[in-house]
Structures are given as C-alpha cells and as structure tokens.
Amino acid sequence: MQEFEIHSQGPSRLQIRSVQLTGRPLGGKLAQLNGVCHQEGLYPWRMNPDSSPKKSALHWKVLIGMALGAAVGLVMQATLAAPAWIGASFESVPDGGVRAVSIRAGSPAAKAGLTVGSTWRLAVLNRGAKERGPDDDVALATPMHVQQALERTSNGEVIWFFPSREGQDQEGTWSKEEAGARPIAVAIEPDSPRDNWIYPFALVADVFIALLKMLIVPLVLASIVSGVAGVGGMKDLRRLGKKTFFYYMLTSLLAIMVGQILVNVFVPGEGARLGLVMPDVVPEGGGLREFIEVVKRMVPPNIFSSLQDNGAMLSIIFFALVLGYSITRTPDPHGKRIREVFASFLEVMMSMAKGVLALLPYGVFALMVKVVATTGLAPFKALLLYMFVVTLALLVHALVTLPLLLSFLAKVSPIKWAKAMAPALFTAFSTSSSSMTLPVTMETVEHRGRVSNKVTSFTLPLGATVNMDGTALYECIGVIFLAQYYASVGGNPLGIGQQAFVVILALLASVGAAGIPSAGLVMMLTILAALRLPVEGAALLLAVDRPLDMLRTVVNVWSDTCAAAVVSRSEGEEGPLEPVVGA
C-alpha cells in the first residue's frame, strides 16, 4: 500500500509526495488525487478561492440585485420628475442660430467642449440610428428650439450640436460631417426630485467602483508574477512545458481574434443607450504609428510611477512577466524566497478581493437603480445584442477553431472527442469554474480520452492556470463594445493600434488571471483602465454575466481537453481515444 501527502506550494503549485511505501514498489510512484492517478512531483495548480458553491450563490445574488435595482429604478422613473438637462443657456443671434451665454462647470455641455459665446445652428437627434426621421434635425433659431430638442430626447441620449446649417442635400437633410460638431449626453437636471433620490444609490455605486479600482494593480501584479514564477520554476518545463504553453497562447490569440472580428462586424455598442458618462479623456485612434506608441509604452521607465497609475497596466503586466521569468532564473534560496513572498502577497490580495466581491450584489443593485432611473430599460436592448455577439464568438471558437486544430494536429474526430469529454463539459457548465471542474477533467481525459498520465497531469493543471480562451474572448468583446459606445457619444473610435493594444492586454492578462476571483471582471477592469476608459461599464456588463460565464467556462475546459489531445499526439503517443500501452 502506498500513501501520499499533498502539499500546497502557494496558489499556483501542488506537490504530491510519497511518505510511506509498503509491499512491492509501484513504478513511477503514482498518487491518487480525486480519483485520478498522478506521478509524484510538483504540479501547477490554481487554488481559486472563488471555486466553491458560494460562487454560484454569489451569481444568483447578483441577478437578484440586478432585478431589484431595475425594479426600483423603473418606479423612480415613473413617479419622479426629471427634466432633460445639458447645463447651458442660450440666446438668439441676429444672423440665425443660438449663442451660449452661460455654461455650468462639470455639466454635459462643458464636458462636450461648449464655450460661452459659441454659436450653434443645428441640433441632430438619433445620429447613427438605423431609422431617422426628418424631424431629427432641429434648426436652432431661438432658445425655444433648444428646449424642444431636449424635450424630444431622454436621459442618456446624445444631441449633436453643429455650428452651421450649410450643406443641405436634396432630401432636406443637413450635412453632419462638419468640423466643430459637439456631442452632448443629456443628463437629469440637478436637484430635480429624481436626481435627489438617485444620489444615494449613485454614491454607493461610485464607492464600489472605487474599491474595484483599488484592487486592479496589486492583484494583477501579484497574480502574474506568482503564476509565471510558479509555472516557470517547474523542472518539467522543458519540451513538454514549452510546447503546451505555446499551444495555449495560440488558442487564446485565436479566440481573441474571433471576438475582435465579430464585435467589429456587428458593432453592438454603436448608438447604445447605456447611460454612462462620457470620459474626460478618450482614447485616440490611429494606425501603425499608434501601435508603435503602444509598444513603446510597454517598457516602464519607472515601474514605481506606473504602479501609481491604473492607466499604465500594459507596463505593469510587462514588468510582472519579466519579473516572474527572472525569478525562475534565480537560484535558490533567493528564488524560492521571492516566490514565497509573491505567493503570500497573492493570497492576501485574493482575500481582499473576495471581501470586495462579496459586496458585488449591492454594488450591482445600486448601479442598476442609477442606470434604470436615468435611462430606463434602454441599456438592456444593447446588452442583448452584446450577449448575442459574445455567444456567437464562443460558438465559433468552440465549434470551428478548436475542432480544426483537433482534427489536423491531434488527428482525432472532434465529434468523438466531444462525446468522450461530455462529463467534464457538463460539470464546467454547471459550476462555472475551471478549477472546480479540474478533477473531473483530468479523470475524463485520462480514462475516457485515453491520454497518458504524463500529458494529462501536466497540460490540464497548467491550462487551469494560463488557458482562458473563453474569458479572453469575452474581455476583448466587452472592452470594444464599451469603446464603441463611448465613440458614439463623442469619443474617438478605436483604431488599429488601440485594438491591437486590446489584443495584447487580453492575451498577457490571461496568463496569470485564472486564479483571481471573478477573473473576467478583473481582466476587463485592467484593459479598460489601460485604455483610460471608465470602469463603470464593466460593472454594468455584470448584469448579464451569469449565462455568459457558464458558456465561457465550457469553452475554457473544452480548450484544455483539446490541448491534452494535441500534446499527446505530438509526444508520439498512440493517440487520444486509443488505449494507452501498459495502462
């Protein structure tokens, strides 16, 4: 009889060690863990504090908070007055148009760039909408016309002010592509009855968002350093490790590209009414030059300055990757000491994150009250299209990209492999956690998929650490969706360079984010912060996150199992779904 001890080596590694051996020794010293045999050694393992039944309870609490918040917001919208407001007053000018005579500091008009003395002759409503009427172009001759335009809009919508009415075409529609145009997001008049009721809920939502921002830098830094140092420090990270890691990076990149293509095809964020405030600083579009600037910003001249700025996340991630790799090259005892320091720091940050995320239902409730009371249910129409794009991208990656890799690289029928992996996929769907599914995944791949213990024991725990195809795809779509919305209310659209920036961040962040509680949220916050976009949008997307999280987890686990099959074939084994010789 053989007995083993199982030791946690920080949040990223698990050690199985023989402590007693009676009778005839077993070749390779196999250990039984969760019903699966493993060789004695050190394995990558992500102890996710969010991987418990409490996670499902938290998701349902979030849904309840969302529903209650929407209900309260609808009641406030139906019963409390809230005139549309942009924070500017106007007077007529002799040659036609209106002149701004006063602009309130911090108002929508001020944020849009209107100045005292500026003259405006055209207000455009529903710009970018598929169906527009001739009444959506309002000629501004008196202040009354401005008021009429405001009365025809609702909070959260955008009015475009143009300085000239020249360029009328034969159909009587004004030319809108004119320099000097200003988009103004309509808001609720301050101190109105509804605004006074919204204020306490907005305060709670803002505090919760601030708590999330507080976690971004230390959590991402600790997770990536600990993850890279833990995986890179394994003695087995030679041919098998490099091959597996490269495959995981490839599939994550392909997943991100699928999401990027579809979100640019469907453009779900354009014209959406999310009720989010336009940022004071918007990302600049651009092409190759902008991409080069992004690459230059990867290397921080002063890491301590970068750590003080959530917008410098690319530099922080780059530094974390280099530091983690350098730790793997540092001989013990120094390398071991610094690994333990970061492992302990990560455990502390995870505990802090778990405490903050326990407040998630209340934060979502307050945010829903704020958004729905301001704009009604309009944001959810845009979120339905967003959910469709995410689901379609996940299906394309799971049913097209990965099966092609499985067919050509592993020489395995995707249909047969999917049938064999069914227990792991169903478990992933029900738990929404790759870490909770890992024991089932390992048992399924080894016994139903006929992949050797050597490959299974390495690729699958490593996949739970660094392979997050579905999550990376989701973050890319979510960030570009929000960027499209901000572009429609006056921001610049993301150019090639900025979109490449999103791809790089999503790929690099996925390396160490698997062990973070609610990794999808943290990754999205990270990318939004790097683009200097408000993170409130990510909190809004949490309202529809539960079903998408279940689908993302299935794709993550499906990708892990495909990796095991591909690596098994590349190692010269007889092949997945075939009996292992000597098994």
DSSP string, 254-266: HHHHHHHHHHHHH
Bigger pLDDT: 547 vs 294:
547
Is pLDDT at 97 greater than 70 in this prediction? Answer: yes
Bigger pLDDT: 161 vs 308:
161
| Percentage of the chain modeled with pLDDT above 90 | 19
Query: For residue 10, what pLDDT is reported?
Result: 41
Q: How far apart are CA 344 and CA 363, in angstroms?
A: 28
Spatial strand order in the sheet of 182-185: 137-139, 122-124, 158-162, 182-185
Query: For residue 265, what pLDDT is reported?
Result: 94
Is pLDDT at 44 greater than 50 in this prediction? Answer: no
Query: For residue 257, what pLDDT is reported?
Result: 94
Residue carrying structure tokens 């999103």: 502
DSSP class per residue in 300-344: -S-HHHHHT-GGGHHHHHHHHHHHHHHHHHSPTTHHHHHHHHHHH
What integer is the mean pLDDT of 159-165?
80
What integer is the mean pLDDT of 544-571?
89
By the 8 A CB rule, do 559 and 467 touch?
A: yes
Q: How far apart are CA 414 and CA 422, in angstroms?
A: 12
Is pLDDT at 153 greater than 50 in this prediction? Answer: yes
Is pLDDT at 36 greater than 50 in this prediction? Answer: no
Three-state SS for 168-233 is: CCCCCCCCCCCCCCEEEECEECCCCHHHHHHHHHHHHHHHHHHHHHHHHHHHHHHHHHHHHHHHHC
DSSP type of residue 399: I
By the 8 A CB rule, do 221 and 363 touch?
A: no
Alpha helices in 358-412 (DSSP H): 360-375, 378-396, 402-409
The dihedral over CA atoms of 502, 505, 506, 507, expressed in degrees to the nearest 10, equals 120
Alpha helices in 16-133 (DSSP H): 53-79, 108-112
By the 8 A CB rule, do 315 and 504 touch?
A: no
What integer is the mean pLDDT of 408-437?
86
Q: How many CA atoms lie within 13 A of 67 on its CB side?
A: 6
Query: For residue 256, what pLDDT is reported?
Result: 93
Domains defined for the chain, CATH in brackets? 2-44 (no CATH), 53-72+197-275+298-570 (1.10.3860), 84-191 (2.30.42.10)
Is pLDDT at 123 greater than 80 in this prediction? Answer: yes
Residue 105, burial from CB neighbour count under 10 angstroms (0-12, 13-18, 19+): exposed
- Point out the least confidently predicted range of 258-272, 377-391, 528-542: 528-542
Helix (H, G, I), strand (E, B) or coil at 419: helix
Q: How far apart are CA 439 and CA 431, in angstroms?
A: 13
CA angle centred on 15, ends 13 and 18, rounded to 5°: 175
What integer is the mean pLDDT of 316-334?
86
Query: For residue 45, what pLDDT is reported?
Result: 43
By the 8 A CB rule, do 372 and 70 touch?
A: yes
- Point out the least confidently predicted range of 212-226, 280-294, 343-357, 474-488: 280-294
Q: Where on the phi/psi map is residue 22: left (φ > 0), alpha (ψ -120 to 50), or beta?
A: beta
pLDDT tier, 310 (very low <50, low <70, confident <90, very high otherwise):
low
Is pLDDT at 184 greater than 80 in this prediction? Answer: yes
Bigger pLDDT: 258 vs 213:
258
Query: For residue 238, what pLDDT is reported?
Result: 60
Query: For residue 179, what pLDDT is reported?
Result: 58
Which pair of tokens denotes residue 55? 């996670």
Residue 149 has phi, psi (to 5 degrees) of: -65, -40
Is pLDDT at 488 greater than 90 in this prediction? Answer: no
pLDDT tier, 516 (very low <50, low <70, confident <90, very high otherwise):
low
Task: Report residue 38 CA to chain centroid gap.
Answer: 34
pLDDT tier, 55 (very low <50, low <70, confident <90, very high otherwise):
low
Q: How many CA atoms lie within 13 A of 226 on its CB side?
A: 30
Q: How far apart are CA 402 and CA 391, in angstroms?
A: 16
What size, in residues, is the chain? 583
Bigger pLDDT: 207 vs 14:
207
Bigger pLDDT: 196 vs 576:
196
By the 8 A CB rule, do 554 and 398 touch?
A: yes
What integer is the mean pLDDT of 546-564?
90
Question: What is the pLDDT of the chain when averaged over all its residues?
Answer: 77
Residue type, 257: M
Query: For residue 27, what pLDDT is reported?
Result: 34
Query: For residue 196, what pLDDT is reported?
Result: 92
Query: For residue 545, what pLDDT is reported?
Result: 78
Query: For residue 243, what pLDDT is reported?
Result: 83
pLDDT tier, 276 (very low <50, low <70, confident <90, very high otherwise):
low
Smallest Cα–Cα separation from 519: which of 246, 215, 233, 244? 215
By the 8 A CB rule, do 515 and 46 touch?
A: yes
Q: How many CA atoms lie within 13 A of 85 on its CB side?
A: 17
Task: Report residue 401 CA to chain centroid gap.
Answer: 21
Smallest Cα–Cα separation from 84: which of 199, 184, 187? 187
Beta bridge partners of 98: 92, 120
Query: For residue 573, what pLDDT is reported?
Result: 75
What integer is the mean pLDDT of 78-105?
89
Q: How far apart are CA 407 and CA 48, in angstroms?
A: 32
Is pLDDT at 290 greater than 70 in this prediction? Answer: no
Beta bridge partners of 120: 98
Is pLDDT at 142 greater than 70 in this prediction? Answer: yes
- Best mean pLDDT range from 416-425, 454-463, 478-487: 416-425
- Point out the least confidently predicted range of 160-169, 178-187, 415-424, 437-446: 160-169
Query: For residue 462, what pLDDT is reported?
Result: 77
Is pLDDT at 171 greater than 80 in this prediction? Answer: no
What integer is the mean pLDDT of 228-250?
72
pLDDT tier, 555 (very low <50, low <70, confident <90, very high otherwise):
very high
pTM of structure:
0.73
Q: How far apart are CA 562 and CA 93, in angstroms?
A: 69
By the 8 A CB rule, do 510 and 472 touch?
A: yes
